[in-house]
Each structure stands twice: as C-alpha cells, then as structure tokens.
C-alpha cells in the first residue's frame, strides 16, 4: 500500500464511522434527550457518549495500533496526550447545545493527526446531509464535490462567524462579546452557528469568509475542520497571526487574501 492509498483507507474508515454515528444522531434528533450538565451551560447527552463509542470501536477495529482522543472520554478522564503517533481526534457531536434544542447544525467530527499534523478530516452533518472530507495534499470535498474558500478580499463584504463558548465567566464573556461587537463595525454581518467544526467547513466552502473563536473546547473541535479548510485553500492561524496550535483554544480562519487584514482587525478591533 502506498502512503496515499493508506490515507484514502483512513478517510474511508472515518467516513464509515461518521455515517454510523450520523445515523444515530439523526434517529435521536427529534426525540426527547437525556441531558447532563458538565457546567451551567455545558451539556452532554447519552447520544454524545454513544456516538463516541461507535466511532471509537469502528476505528479501533480498523486501526488497533492507532491512538485515540475523544471529547467524552479524554476530557472526562484527563487522558489527552497528543503524540507523533497516528491519532484519531473525535468530537462525537459538535454542536451539542444545537442537538439538545433541535437546531440542525450538528456534526460528527473525526480528524487524524500524524506527527501532530492534521492529515485526514471528516465532518458530517446528518441532519442536512452534508459530508465534508479532506486529506492533506489531496483537496477538500463537500458530498464528493471539490470545494474552495471565498476569494473575498474586502472586510466590509465579509460574513464573519464566531462562537460564544460554554464559559459564563464575566471576563471571558466580556472579551468575546466586546471583540465581536467591535468587529461588527468592519464586516457585513455575523453568524454564530454553535459548532466550531461546521464553522471551519463553512469557511472551507466559501459561504463564510472569516471565523474567529477564542474559546473552543479541545482539539476535537478543530482537528478535522483544519484539514478540510487548508485543503480548500484556506488558512487556519492563531488570532495573533502566528501558527495555529491545535492544543490551544483559539483560532482564526479565512482565505489567504484576508489573513493580514483580519489579524489587524482582531488586534485592533
Ligand atoms: C462546542 C462547539 C461550540 C463552541 C464550544 C464547543 P460541543 O462543542 O464547538 O461551537 O463554541 O466552545 O465546546 O460541546 O458542542 O462539542
Ligand atoms: Ca461538549
Ligand atoms: Ca465540540
Ligand atoms: Ca462534542
């Protein structure tokens, strides 16, 4: 098997796993959910846990020597260690609050890092049946069709996406809303869809121009979306303009034409 063949094999297995979990999300979406609280507004349901189990068992069967990180296991047990080994990074439902409310922006996000570099990404929204895929060096696709970022270069014509996170600490909220408030004067409009992974894919397919988040929960929010976005010709970077760090909790994303202006706007909103 060549390197490319095995990357295709990794992608195929991740798509199968995402479809299995997606079927469960779809089934449970219109039913009453059993909701637990990790924090005041930080929710988890039995379906989050069941989807993580499904994805893990599928991929572990295919790739027993690989490492695994998942929001509902690693975060809960503090076992998140990202090494150079091939590592599957799984968010079983990104957009749990949306899932609980029946708001149709939910997805399964499955990323594979090799040498800590996001290399394969699958983001599947089973409710509106959108499957985003990407392999490093081999392009990005939405339902099998190649996608690319927007070619917008003027901030005032941009659609900005952001997120409000799950912390309700006053200083965090003041920082998030203050920055969004000031950025709004410089862009066309703002969207907050409740899913970091889907927002990255929205930038990848050009329906959102800019995405900024300084409160994402862990690498599972960004691992798959980062591959898809960069393979669609986009850039993911620290809001300061420095390199993206998958273990941090903040990122900015855009097409290459907007990076400098966006970083400047984020620094001096
Ligand atoms: C959340 C979503 C949301 C972001 C939060 C994340 P979850 O993930 O990505 O967009 O604002 O910080 O925790 O909990 O729905 O998987
Ligand atoms: Ca969560
Ligand atoms: Ca998430
Ligand atoms: Ca989640």
Question: Which run of H or E residues covers position 18?
Answer: helix 3-29
The reply to whether 140 and 13 lie within a common domain is: yes
65 & 133 share domain? yes
| Residue range(s) defining the domain that contains residue 249 | 155-267
Give yes or no: residues 125 and 71 share one domain: yes
Whether the ipTM is more than 0.90: the answer is yes
Check 91, 163, 202, 209 and give the catalytic one: 91
| pLDDT over 70 at 267, yes or no | yes
In total, how many domains does the chain have? 2
Question: Which helix (H) or strand (E) element contains residue 159?
Answer: strand 159-162
In a shared domain, residues 117 and 200: no
Residue 4 pLDDT > 70: no
Confidence class of residue 268 from pLDDT cuts 50, 70 and 90? confident
* Residue 2 lies inside a defined structural domain of this protein: no
Q: How far does the centroid of ligand 2 lie from the alpha carbon of residue 190, in Å?
A: 23
Confidence (pLDDT) at 258: 98
Q: How far is the CA of 48 from the centre of ligand 4 (A)?
A: 7
Is 94 part of the annotated catalytic residue set?
yes
Average pLDDT over residues 227-244: 97
Pocket perturbation via mutation, ligand 1, pick of 25, 37, 95 by most ligand atoms within 8 A of CB: 95
Q: How confident is the model at residue 75 (pLDDT cuts 50, 70, 90)?
A: low
Catalytic residue among 176, 221, 228, 246: 221
Asked if 46 contacts 99 with a C-beta cutoff of 8 angstroms, the reply is: no
Q: Do 126 and 185 belong together in one domain? A: no
Closest by CA to 15, choosing from 142, 139, 105, is: 142
The verdict on whether residue 94 carries a ligand-binding annotation is: yes
Same domain, 34 and 86: yes
Distance CA 140, CA 233 (A): 9
Domain boundary pick from 118, 146, 174: 146
71 is catalytic: yes
Looking at the structure, tell me whether residues 11 and 140 fall in a common domain: yes
Q: What does the pLDDT average to over 66-89?
A: 84
User: Does 167 map to a domain?
Assistant: yes
Residue 226 is predicted with a pLDDT of: 98
Specify whether 105 is located in the same domain as 227. Answer: no
State the helix-helix crossing angle for 196-204 and 223-231, rounded to 10 degrees.
0
Q: What is the CATH number of the domain that holds 116?
A: 3.30.540.10
85 is in an annotated binding site: no
Distance CA(210)–CA(101), nearest Å, equals: 26
Query: Which residue among 146, 171, 194 closes a domain?
Result: 146
221 is in an annotated binding site: yes
Residues 25 and 140 in one domain: yes
Query: Which ligand ends up closest to the CA of 195?
Result: 1
Which of 45, 47, 87, 96 is an active site residue?
Answer: 96
80 within some domain: yes
Looking at the structure, tell me whether residues 114 and 230 fall in a common domain.
no
Evaluate if residue 79 carries a pLDDT over 90: no
Task: Please tell me the pTM assigned to this model.
Answer: 0.96
Q: Are strands 159-162 and 67-70 parallel, antiparallel or unpaired?
A: unpaired
- Angstrom CA distances, 21 to 26, 106, 197, stand at 9, 12, 16
Q: Domain check: are 12 and 142 in the same one?
A: yes
Same domain, 163 and 140: no
213-236 average pLDDT score: 95
pLDDT at 100 over 90: yes
Q: Report if residue 14 sits inside a domain.
A: yes
Residue whose CA is at the smallest distance from ligand 1 atom 15: 95
| pLDDT tens digit sequence for 110-126 | 999 999 999 999 999 99
The overall average pLDDT reported for the chain is: 94
40-49, 174-183, 253-262: the lowest-pLDDT one: 174-183
Domain final residue pick, 120, 146, 172: 146
In whole angstroms, give the CA distance from residue 256 to residue 1. 34
């Amino acid at each position: 098997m060549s390197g490319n063949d095995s990357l295709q094999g990794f992608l195929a297995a991740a798509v199968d796993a995402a479809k299995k979990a997606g079927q469960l999300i779809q089934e449970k979406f219109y039913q009453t959910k059993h909701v637990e609280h990790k924090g005041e507004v930080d929710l988890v349901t039995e379906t989050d846990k069941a989807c993580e189990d499904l994805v893990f068992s599928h991929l572990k069967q295919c790739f027993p020597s690989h490492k695994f990180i998942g929001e509902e296991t690693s975060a809960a047990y503090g076992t998140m260690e990202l090494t150079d080994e091939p590592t599957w990074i799984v968010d079983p439902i990104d957009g749990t609050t949306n899932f609980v409310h029946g708001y149709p922006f939910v997805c399964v996000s499955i990323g594979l890092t090799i040498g800590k570099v996001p290399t394969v990404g699958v983001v599947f929204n089973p409710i509106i049946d959108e499957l985003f895929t990407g392999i490093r060096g081999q392009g990005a696709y939405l339902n099998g069709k190649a996608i690319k970022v927007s070619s917008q270069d003027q901030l005032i014509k941009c659609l900005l996406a952001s997120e409000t996170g799950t912390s309700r600490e006053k200083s965090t909220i003041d920082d998030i809303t203050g920055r969004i408030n000031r950025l709004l004067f410089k862009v066309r409009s703002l969207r907050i869809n409740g899913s970091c992974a889907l927002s990255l894919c929205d930038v990848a397919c050009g329906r959102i121009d800019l995405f900024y988040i300084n409160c994402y929960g862990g690498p599972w929010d960004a691992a798959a979306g980062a591959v898809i976005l960069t393979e669609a010709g986009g850039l993911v970077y620290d809001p300061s303009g420095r390199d993206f760090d998958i273990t941090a909790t903040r990122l900015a994303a855009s097409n290459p034409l907007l990076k400098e202006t966006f970083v400047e706007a984020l620094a001096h909103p």
